[in-house]
Amino acid sequence: MIQKQLKITKWSARIIALAVILFGLPFYFGYGNPLPFINPDYTWGDNAVLTLYPLIFIGLGLGWKYEKIGGYLVTVPITIGLVLGLTTGAGFSINMLVPLIAGVLYLVAGYKKEAH
């Protein structure tokens, strides 16, 4: 039973991660110049997001093989981004909840696999 739950958790995280990567990468590269702090027209919030997104994409891909590392590479930058957004008045970015779910599922799968 635990093996089946672990498999469902892993594949749920993987499917969500794949969807986020396939949907998010074109937007990231379509932003113009995706390198942070290059364009003087970018706001501080734009630069923060452009800094955090590569970590999130790497974590989503890395989570397929290394769930815990991928989960941390996704959840930590998103948490930092959400906290910065709320403290700077940029607001709460609801679209970051989908990759956050994948990151949390990666962490759950990683720790479940370790405990089992």
Q: Tens digits of per-residue pLDDT, 64-108?
A: 999 999 999 999 999 988 887 788 777 767 888 999 999 999 999
Q: Tens digits of per-residue pLDDT, 46-64?
A: 787 788 889 999 999 999 9
Tell whether the model's pLDDT for residue 7 goes beyond 80. yes
For the chain, the domains span: 2-115
Q: Tens digits of per-residue pLDDT, 8-42?
A: 999 999 999 999 999 988 888 886 677 788 888 88
Model's pTM, two decimal places?
A: 0.86
Which residue in the block uniquely carries the two structure tokens 């910065």?
84
- Within 8 A by CB and 6+ apart from 68, the residues are 106, 107, 110, 111, 114
State the sign of the Cα–Cα–Cα–Cα dihedral 89, 44, 99, 80. Answer: negative
